[in-house]
Structure 1
Amino acid sequence: MPLITLTVQKPKTSQFKDQVFSAVHEALVAAGVPATDRFHRVLELEAENFCFDLNYPDLIRPRTEDFVLIEILLSLGRSVKVKKRIVEDVIAALTGQGFDPENIMITFVETTWENWSFGGGRFFYM
Protein backbone atom coordinates (compact mmCIF):
# COMPACT_ATOMS: atom_id res chain seq x y z
CA MET A 1 0.00 0.00 0.00
CA PRO A 2 1.81 3.11 -1.11
CA LEU A 3 1.03 6.35 0.67
CA ILE A 4 1.68 9.34 -1.57
CA THR A 5 2.49 12.73 -0.09
CA LEU A 6 2.88 15.82 -2.25
CA THR A 7 4.56 18.83 -0.74
CA VAL A 8 3.99 22.05 -2.69
CA GLN A 9 4.14 25.78 -2.20
CA LYS A 10 0.81 27.58 -1.86
CA PRO A 11 -1.29 28.24 -3.77
CA LYS A 12 -1.83 25.31 -6.12
CA THR A 13 -5.01 24.60 -8.00
CA SER A 14 -6.96 21.38 -7.61
CA GLN A 15 -6.07 20.63 -11.23
CA PHE A 16 -2.33 20.92 -10.47
CA LYS A 17 -2.60 18.55 -7.51
CA ASP A 18 -4.90 16.12 -9.34
CA GLN A 19 -2.51 15.93 -12.30
CA VAL A 20 0.37 15.01 -10.02
CA PHE A 21 -1.65 12.49 -8.01
CA SER A 22 -2.97 10.87 -11.19
CA ALA A 23 0.48 10.58 -12.75
CA VAL A 24 1.91 8.97 -9.61
CA HIS A 25 -1.05 6.63 -9.15
CA GLU A 26 -0.99 5.49 -12.77
CA ALA A 27 2.75 4.79 -12.54
CA LEU A 28 2.22 2.76 -9.38
CA VAL A 29 -0.62 0.78 -10.94
CA ALA A 30 1.60 0.03 -13.95
CA ALA A 31 4.18 -1.28 -11.42
CA GLY A 32 1.64 -3.69 -9.92
CA VAL A 33 -0.16 -1.71 -7.22
CA PRO A 34 -3.93 -2.40 -7.23
CA ALA A 35 -5.94 0.43 -8.80
CA THR A 36 -8.09 0.71 -5.67
CA ASP A 37 -5.03 1.16 -3.45
CA ARG A 38 -5.27 4.94 -3.50
CA PHE A 39 -4.10 6.85 -0.42
CA HIS A 40 -2.90 10.37 -1.21
CA ARG A 41 -2.34 13.52 0.77
CA VAL A 42 -1.01 16.97 0.02
CA LEU A 43 0.95 19.37 2.18
CA GLU A 44 0.43 22.82 0.75
CA LEU A 45 2.77 25.19 2.56
CA GLU A 46 3.49 28.89 2.65
CA ALA A 47 6.75 29.76 0.90
CA GLU A 48 8.53 30.42 4.20
CA ASN A 49 7.65 26.89 5.35
CA PHE A 50 8.88 25.04 2.26
CA CYS A 51 12.57 25.57 1.63
CA PHE A 52 14.32 24.02 -1.34
CA ASP A 53 17.47 24.77 -3.25
CA LEU A 54 16.79 26.18 -6.71
CA ASN A 55 19.61 24.33 -8.44
CA TYR A 56 20.73 21.31 -6.38
CA PRO A 57 22.36 19.11 -7.49
CA ASP A 58 22.93 20.11 -11.12
CA LEU A 59 19.63 21.12 -12.68
CA ILE A 60 19.33 22.35 -16.25
CA ARG A 61 16.98 25.15 -15.11
CA PRO A 62 16.33 26.51 -11.62
CA ARG A 63 13.32 25.23 -9.70
CA THR A 64 10.35 27.56 -9.43
CA GLU A 65 7.36 28.00 -7.13
CA ASP A 66 5.83 25.02 -8.98
CA PHE A 67 8.37 22.64 -7.44
CA VAL A 68 6.67 19.47 -6.20
CA LEU A 69 8.21 16.99 -3.79
CA ILE A 70 6.63 13.56 -4.24
CA GLU A 71 7.16 11.12 -1.40
CA ILE A 72 6.15 7.53 -1.98
CA LEU A 73 5.96 5.46 1.20
CA LEU A 74 5.74 1.81 0.24
CA SER A 75 6.45 -1.66 1.45
CA LEU A 76 9.99 -2.96 1.22
CA GLY A 77 10.89 -5.07 -1.76
CA ARG A 78 10.60 -3.11 -5.01
CA SER A 79 13.72 -3.38 -7.13
CA VAL A 80 15.72 -0.41 -8.35
CA LYS A 81 14.47 -1.28 -11.84
CA VAL A 82 10.83 -0.96 -10.72
CA LYS A 83 11.52 2.34 -8.92
CA LYS A 84 13.27 3.76 -11.97
CA ARG A 85 10.28 2.78 -14.10
CA ILE A 86 7.89 4.50 -11.69
CA VAL A 87 10.00 7.69 -11.85
CA GLU A 88 10.19 7.53 -15.65
CA ASP A 89 6.41 7.06 -15.92
CA VAL A 90 5.67 9.95 -13.55
CA ILE A 91 8.07 12.30 -15.33
CA ALA A 92 6.74 11.33 -18.77
CA ALA A 93 3.12 11.84 -17.72
CA LEU A 94 3.74 15.21 -16.08
CA THR A 95 6.01 16.62 -18.78
CA GLY A 96 3.34 15.60 -21.27
CA GLN A 97 0.98 17.87 -19.33
CA GLY A 98 3.36 20.83 -19.36
CA PHE A 99 5.20 20.33 -16.07
CA ASP A 100 8.89 21.18 -16.05
CA PRO A 101 10.74 17.98 -15.07
CA GLU A 102 13.29 20.08 -13.15
CA ASN A 103 10.45 20.95 -10.74
CA ILE A 104 9.73 17.30 -9.89
CA MET A 105 11.59 15.51 -7.09
CA ILE A 106 10.59 11.96 -6.19
CA THR A 107 11.70 10.06 -3.12
CA PHE A 108 10.89 6.51 -2.04
CA VAL A 109 10.61 5.58 1.62
CA GLU A 110 10.38 1.86 2.33
CA THR A 111 8.91 0.12 5.34
CA THR A 112 8.24 -3.50 6.24
CA TRP A 113 4.77 -5.06 6.20
CA GLU A 114 4.42 -5.25 9.98
CA ASN A 115 4.30 -1.44 10.02
CA TRP A 116 0.94 -1.26 8.21
CA SER A 117 -2.50 -1.59 9.77
CA PHE A 118 -4.94 -0.77 7.00
CA GLY A 119 -8.04 -0.50 9.15
CA GLY A 120 -9.72 -1.83 12.25
CA GLY A 121 -6.37 -2.45 13.90
CA ARG A 122 -5.85 -5.48 11.66
CA PHE A 123 -2.54 -6.43 10.10
CA PHE A 124 -3.45 -8.02 6.79
CA TYR A 125 -0.04 -9.40 5.91
CA MET A 126 0.99 -11.03 9.19
Structure 2
Amino acid sequence: MMVQVKIYGLRDRLFPKIQSMSDTVHACLMETLNVPPDKRFHRFMTLEPETFLYPDDRTENYTILEISMFEGRTVETKKRLIRLLFERFQSDFDIAPLDLEITLLETPKANWGVRGMLGDEL
Protein backbone atom coordinates (compact mmCIF):
# COMPACT_ATOMS: atom_id res chain seq x y z
CA MET A 1 0.00 0.00 0.00
CA MET A 2 2.95 2.31 0.60
CA VAL A 3 3.10 5.37 -1.70
CA GLN A 4 5.51 8.30 -1.49
CA VAL A 5 5.38 11.38 -3.71
CA LYS A 6 8.03 13.91 -4.70
CA ILE A 7 6.88 17.05 -6.53
CA TYR A 8 9.45 19.27 -8.24
CA GLY A 9 8.86 22.74 -9.63
CA LEU A 10 9.95 26.36 -9.59
CA ARG A 11 9.73 27.78 -6.08
CA ASP A 12 7.61 30.83 -6.97
CA ARG A 13 5.12 28.64 -8.88
CA LEU A 14 4.99 25.67 -6.53
CA PHE A 15 5.25 27.18 -3.05
CA PRO A 16 1.86 28.98 -3.01
CA LYS A 17 0.13 25.76 -4.12
CA ILE A 18 1.74 23.20 -1.81
CA GLN A 19 -1.32 22.39 0.30
CA SER A 20 -3.82 22.41 -2.56
CA MET A 21 -1.48 20.39 -4.79
CA SER A 22 -0.97 17.86 -2.00
CA ASP A 23 -4.75 17.63 -1.61
CA THR A 24 -5.21 17.01 -5.34
CA VAL A 25 -2.46 14.41 -5.56
CA HIS A 26 -3.76 12.59 -2.50
CA ALA A 27 -7.32 12.60 -3.82
CA CYS A 28 -6.06 10.98 -7.04
CA LEU A 29 -4.11 8.35 -5.05
CA MET A 30 -7.14 7.57 -2.90
CA GLU A 31 -9.40 7.27 -5.94
CA THR A 32 -7.13 5.05 -8.04
CA LEU A 33 -4.86 3.21 -5.58
CA ASN A 34 -7.13 3.13 -2.52
CA VAL A 35 -4.54 4.95 -0.41
CA PRO A 36 -6.07 5.71 3.02
CA PRO A 37 -6.93 9.35 3.79
CA ASP A 38 -4.42 9.52 6.65
CA LYS A 39 -1.45 8.08 4.71
CA ARG A 40 -0.06 11.17 3.00
CA PHE A 41 3.69 11.09 2.29
CA HIS A 42 4.47 14.09 0.03
CA ARG A 43 7.69 16.04 -0.38
CA PHE A 44 7.89 19.27 -2.34
CA MET A 45 11.16 20.20 -4.01
CA THR A 46 10.94 23.92 -4.71
CA LEU A 47 13.74 24.97 -7.01
CA GLU A 48 15.22 28.25 -8.18
CA PRO A 49 15.33 28.90 -11.95
CA GLU A 50 19.10 28.36 -12.09
CA THR A 51 18.74 24.87 -10.57
CA PHE A 52 15.72 23.65 -12.55
CA LEU A 53 16.52 23.28 -16.23
CA TYR A 54 13.86 22.12 -18.67
CA PRO A 55 13.21 22.17 -22.45
CA ASP A 56 12.28 25.40 -24.21
CA ASP A 57 8.83 24.07 -25.12
CA ARG A 58 7.86 23.96 -21.41
CA THR A 59 6.68 26.95 -19.38
CA GLU A 60 7.40 28.13 -15.84
CA ASN A 61 4.56 25.83 -14.76
CA TYR A 62 6.71 22.78 -15.60
CA THR A 63 6.20 20.26 -12.78
CA ILE A 64 7.56 16.77 -12.18
CA LEU A 65 5.80 14.13 -10.08
CA GLU A 66 7.72 11.06 -8.94
CA ILE A 67 5.54 8.49 -7.24
CA SER A 68 7.29 5.59 -5.47
CA MET A 69 5.13 2.64 -4.51
CA PHE A 70 5.07 -1.05 -3.80
CA GLU A 71 4.95 -3.07 -6.99
CA GLY A 72 1.89 -5.03 -8.00
CA ARG A 73 -0.70 -2.64 -9.41
CA THR A 74 -2.14 -3.41 -12.82
CA VAL A 75 -1.12 -1.46 -15.90
CA GLU A 76 -4.69 -0.19 -16.22
CA THR A 77 -4.67 1.11 -12.63
CA LYS A 78 -1.41 2.98 -13.24
CA LYS A 79 -2.76 4.44 -16.47
CA ARG A 80 -5.92 5.61 -14.66
CA LEU A 81 -3.76 7.34 -12.05
CA ILE A 82 -1.64 9.13 -14.66
CA ARG A 83 -4.66 10.22 -16.69
CA LEU A 84 -6.43 11.49 -13.57
CA LEU A 85 -3.35 13.48 -12.48
CA PHE A 86 -3.10 15.11 -15.93
CA GLU A 87 -6.80 15.99 -15.79
CA ARG A 88 -6.75 17.38 -12.24
CA PHE A 89 -3.54 19.38 -12.65
CA GLN A 90 -5.06 21.00 -15.72
CA SER A 91 -8.39 21.78 -14.02
CA ASP A 92 -7.11 22.63 -10.52
CA PHE A 93 -3.85 24.45 -11.33
CA ASP A 94 -4.02 25.32 -15.03
CA ILE A 95 -0.93 23.19 -15.62
CA ALA A 96 -1.11 21.85 -19.15
CA PRO A 97 -0.24 18.20 -19.79
CA LEU A 98 2.86 19.37 -21.68
CA ASP A 99 4.08 20.97 -18.43
CA LEU A 100 3.51 17.91 -16.25
CA GLU A 101 5.73 14.84 -16.20
CA ILE A 102 4.81 11.84 -14.09
CA THR A 103 7.01 8.88 -13.24
CA LEU A 104 5.74 5.86 -11.33
CA LEU A 105 8.54 3.96 -9.61
CA GLU A 106 7.59 0.49 -8.43
CA THR A 107 9.74 -1.32 -5.91
CA PRO A 108 9.47 -4.81 -4.45
CA LYS A 109 8.15 -4.66 -0.88
CA ALA A 110 11.35 -6.28 0.40
CA ASN A 111 13.26 -3.18 -0.77
CA TRP A 112 11.34 -0.85 1.58
CA GLY A 113 12.03 -0.17 5.23
CA VAL A 114 8.91 1.12 7.00
CA ARG A 115 8.35 1.65 10.74
CA GLY A 116 11.39 -0.47 11.55
CA MET A 117 10.28 -3.37 9.37
CA LEU A 118 10.78 -4.59 5.85
CA GLY A 119 7.87 -3.80 3.58
CA ASP A 120 7.19 -7.47 2.86
CA GLU A 121 6.89 -8.15 6.59
CA LEU A 122 4.25 -5.51 7.31
**Larger helix fraction of residues:** 2
The alignment covers a number of residue pairs equal to: 118
State, as a whole percentage, how many aligned pairs show the same letter: 28
More strand by share: 2
Equivalent of 2:35, from 33, 36, 49? 33
- In structure 2, the residue matched to 1:101 is 97
Tell me the TM-score normalised to structure 2 length: 0.85
SS of aligned partner of 2:55: coil
Structure 1 segments unaligned to the other structure (5+ residues): 55-61
In 1, the alpha carbon distance for the partners of 2:80 and 2:18 equals: 21
**Corresponding residue of 1:112:** 108
Q: Which residue of 2 aligns with 1:59?
A: none
Corresponding position of 1:50: 52
2:77 to 68, 71, 82: 82
Q: Distance in 2 between matches of 1:50 and 1:77?
A: 32
Q: What 5-or-longer segments of structure 2 have no aligned partner? A: none
The amino acid that maps onto 2:48 is: E
Within the alignment, does 1:73 sit opposite 2:68 as a pair? yes
CA offset at residue 22 of structure 1? 1.9
1:5 corresponds to which residue? Answer: 6
Say whether the 8 Å CA contact 1:19–1:94 is kept in structure 2. Answer: no
